[in-house]
């Protein structure tokens, strides 16, 4: 049997300007041996021709630069979101459009549970539902005895049944922030923020971080990626204990695991020196499919939650400024320590004040230690203005822009959080291009669903959920968006030398599509079908 496989396709998009498209790609030992026409393959001797993709389009395996393992494990719970979604096993979950839909779905699942099991759901979003807000009595219709908890899509709110309220002794107005009251002055079932949700979650055994850690969750995450053409994805914050690293090395190392997982160490749980030591230690534990060594640093909160740090003139609706997760002075120390050691940082910055503080820290660190071997990334970077992009260029700092926000939260940003003008320059891909800042775009799954072609569609069309265009100038071309979700993302992971394009010597990681994304109407980019992927030359058809 031949050691070389040649895949024939209708079209191969390579991201290599010397050979932008091809029809054949040869693979040997998991790597790309040759790219071009049928005759280009001949010189390498015997090969096995694989014509599975003869009528399909191959592009580089897509790279999700900002996602979380929870995107897999969350499906242990029942989905009750407004938008249609597909679970890791391919089951289609139509969006729920009314409270009655939610109740009907919960009733259906309720019948399948064991007597002592709680019913937990996720993805609920009252913003999209007309009529009164869902309350405990709606959930009591599903069951009077079984505790029921419905997590909202933003993970900051939940609505629970009367029996769940009783577990935490929430049976009267106790004057506690976050326990919403009904007209009768009694808790109505809606709980806001972790402090109020904690007693229920603890008693129901719901722990979001555990959901991301479990072995099955890592596997389910792989299936989530495979369904949308992703062959490399980030697990963009993890405590990475020795125990977890061992387990994750085993799961990702299996031949049937469909992605390369890039896990980043949480930089806020140890001292800077300890974080540096651990990151360097982890880097050495990397394998071909489990890539370690980067550090995630969370500076502020979220714009839609009014917890991002925003500069003057502040929130459009007058809400107070957001929160810091790390004091700027501490950020300076941490950034300096990690930069000096050549450790890559992924710095979560949503608001423009957080972006500014992070850039100041990076500038000071880079003045002290020139490390051309490391490229740091501002994650989300949603409110960066053009001066910020110029500074990022000057400092060699990269951006990962949250393009999906334009669709999912764009209307809310224009109306409430930052107002129409600043909303128009959010997630400013064209400005990044203008200033020469390398960038990618992301989903932050499970905050929004992972699907890089959808994310690319957002960056190209900038349409909000209500159908408005948000920021005509910041639209980018389809070619630029496809580059962003492949080689652009690989560059932000310092992995552009082994993934992100179809070039000789790189891993044979491909996304296999039913249509040509370069040829379809840009408005239909999100609808291009995905057959599956190829990872290291092995085919992974969506199951």
Partner 1 sequence: MTARQSPLPMTVLSGFLGSGKTTLVNRLLRDAAGQRILILVNDFGDIAIDEDLIEAEDGEMLSLANGCACCSMGSDLFEAFDKALSFSPPPDFLLIEASGVAEPDKIANFAKAEPDLVLNSIVTIVDALNFDDTISDPHVGSVHQHQIEAADIVLLSKTDLISPEEIAALKQRLQKFSACDTIVEMSSAGSYNGLVFGAIHPRDDDEVSGGKIVEPHTHADVFQSWSYRLDNEIPLSELQNLIRQLPPNVIRFKGIFPCKEDGNMYEIHRVGKRTDVQQLQRQQNPENRDSRFVAIGIKHPNFDSQMKVIQDQICSLAG
**Where along the sequence are the contacts to partner 1 (CB under 8 A)?**
168-170, 174, 176-179, 193-196, 198-199, 201-202, 207-209, 239, 266, 268-272, 274, 298, 309, 320-321, 323-330, 353, 357
Closest to partner 1 by CB, 144 or 202: 202
Query: Minimal distance in Å, beta carbon 213 to partner 1?
Result: 11
Closest to partner 1 by CB, 365 or 458: 365
User: Containing H/E element for 308?
Assistant: none
In which order are the strands placed within the sheet that holds 78-79?
78-79, 119-124, 148-152, 157-160, 187-192, 179-181
- In the block, which residue shows the tokens 């962003």? 484
Closest to partner 1 by CB, 117 or 207: 207
Query: Minimal distance in Å, beta carbon 380 to partner 1?
Result: 17
Query: Minimal distance in Å, beta carbon 268 to partner 1?
Result: 5
CB atoms within 10 A of CB 126: 18
Query: Minimal distance in Å, beta carbon 329 to partner 1?
Result: 6
Closest to partner 1 by CB, 89 or 193: 193
Q: Could you give the CA distance from residue 378 to residue 320 in angstroms, rounded to a whole number?
A: 24
Chain centre distance of CA 237: 11
Query: Minimal distance in Å, beta carbon 72 to partner 1?
Result: 19
Closest to partner 1 by CB, 6 or 265: 265
Q: What is the CA radius of gyration of the chain?
A: 24
* DSSP secondary structure letter of residue 44: G
Query: Minimal distance in Å, beta carbon 322 to partner 1?
Result: 10
Inter-residue contact 385 to 352 (CB < 8 Å) = yes
Query: Minimal distance in Å, beta carbon 239 to partner 1?
Result: 7
Q: Which residues contact 252 (CB under 8 A, 6 or more apart)?
A: 218, 222, 259, 260, 261, 287, 289, 290
Question: Length of the chain in residues, anyone?
Answer: 543
Query: Minimal distance in Å, beta carbon 459 to partner 1?
Result: 30
Q: Which residues contact 104 (CB under 8 A, 6 or more apart)?
A: none
Closest to partner 1 by CB, 63 or 358: 358
Closest to partner 1 by CB, 193 or 527: 193
Query: Minimal distance in Å, beta carbon 141 to partner 1?
Result: 26
3-class DSSP state of 79: strand
Closest to partner 1 by CB, 23 or 321: 321
Strand pairing report for 538-541 and 530-535: antiparallel
Query: Minimal distance in Å, beta carbon 267 to partner 1?
Result: 8
Q: Could you give the CA distance from residue 349 to residue 322 in angstroms, rounded to a whole number?
A: 12
Closest to partner 1 by CB, 205 or 436: 205
Query: Minimal distance in Å, beta carbon 269 to partner 1?
Result: 4
Q: What angle do CA 67, 65, 239 make, to 5 degrees?
A: 50
Question: In terms of C-beta density within 10 A (0-12 exposed, 13-18 middle, 19 or more buried), how is residue 10 classed?
Answer: middle
User: Containing H/E element for 264?
Assistant: strand 260-266
Q: Could you give the CA distance from residue 517 to residue 533 in angstroms, rounded to a whole number?
A: 15
Closest to partner 1 by CB, 142 or 334: 334
- Is the link from the previous residue into 313 a cis peptide, with omega within 30 of 0? yes
Inter-residue contact 361 to 336 (CB < 8 Å) = yes
The neighbouring-strand residues paired with 296 are: 266, 346
- Cα torsion angle, 321, 469, 60, 20, sign: negative
Closest to partner 1 by CB, 61 or 187: 187
Q: Could you give the CA distance from residue 264 to residue 67 in angstroms, rounded to a whole number?
A: 11
């Amino acid at each position: 049997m031949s050691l070389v496989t040649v895949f024939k396709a209708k079209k191969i998009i390579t991201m290599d300007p010397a050979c932008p498209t091809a029809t054949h790609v040869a693979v040997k030992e998991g790597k790309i041996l040759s790219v071009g026409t049928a005759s280009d393959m001949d010189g390498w001797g015997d090969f096995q021709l694989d014509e599975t993709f003869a009528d399909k389009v191959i592009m580089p395996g897509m790279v999700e630069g900002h996602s979380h393992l929870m995107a897999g494990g969350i499906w242990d719970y029942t989905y009750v979101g407004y938008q249609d979604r597909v679970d890791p096993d391919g089951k289609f979950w139509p969006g729920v459009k009314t409270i009655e839909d939610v109740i009907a779905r919960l009733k259906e699942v309720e019948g399948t549970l064991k007597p002592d099991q709680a019913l937990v759901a996720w993805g609920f979003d009252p913003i999209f539902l007309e009529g009164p807000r869902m309350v405990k009595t709606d959930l009591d219709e599903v069951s009077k005895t079984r505790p029921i908890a419905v997590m909202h899509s933003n993970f900051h709110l939940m609505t629970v049944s009367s029996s769940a309220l009783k577990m935490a002794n929430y049976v009267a107005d106790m004057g506690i922030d976050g326990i919403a009251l009904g007209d009768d002055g009694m808790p109505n079932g809606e709980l806001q923020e972790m402090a109020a949700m904690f007693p229920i979650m603890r008693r129901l055994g719901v722990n979001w971080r555990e959901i991301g850690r479990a072995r099955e969750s890592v596997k389910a995450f792989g299936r989530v990626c495979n369904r949308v053409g992703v062959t490399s994805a980030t697990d963009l914050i993890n405590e990475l204990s020795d125990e977890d690293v061992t387990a994750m090395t085993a799961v990702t190392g299996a031949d049937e695991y469909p992605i390369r997982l890039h896990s980043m160490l949480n930089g806020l749980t140890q001292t800077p020196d300890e974080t540096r030591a651990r990151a360097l230690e982890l880097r050495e534990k990397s394998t071909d499919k489990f890539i370690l060594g980067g550090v995630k640093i969370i500076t502020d909160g979220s714009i839609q939650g009014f917890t991002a740090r925003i500069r003057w003139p502040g929130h459009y609706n007058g809400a107070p400024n957001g929160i810091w997760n790390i004091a700027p002075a501490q950020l300076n120390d941490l950034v300096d320590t990690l930069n000096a050691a050549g450790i890559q940082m992924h710095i979560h910055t949503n608001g423009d004040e957080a972006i500014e503080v992070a850039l100041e820290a990076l500038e000071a660190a880079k003045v002290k230690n020139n490390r051309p071997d490391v490229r740091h990334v501002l994650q989300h970077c949603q409110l960066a203005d053009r001066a910020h992009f110029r500074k990022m260029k000057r400092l060699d700092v990269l951006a990962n822009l949250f393009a999906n926000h334009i669709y999912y939260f764009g209307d809310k940003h224009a109306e409430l959080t930052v107002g129409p003008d600043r909303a128009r320059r959010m997630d400013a891909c064209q400005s990044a291009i203008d200033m020469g800042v390398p960038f990618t775009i992301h989903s932050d799954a499970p905050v929004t669903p992972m699907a890089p072609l959808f994310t690319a569609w957002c960056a190209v069309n900038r349409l909000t959920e209500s159908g408005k265009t948000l920021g005509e100038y910041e639209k980018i071309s389809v070619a630029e968006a496809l580059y962003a979700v492949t080689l652009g993302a690989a560059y932000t992971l310092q992995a552009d030398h082994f993934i992100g394009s179809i070039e000789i010597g790189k891993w044979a990681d491909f996304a296999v599509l039913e249509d040509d994304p370069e040829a379809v109407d840009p408005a239909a980019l999100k609808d291009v079908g995905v057959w599956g992927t190829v990872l290291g030359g092995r085919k992974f058809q969506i199951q």
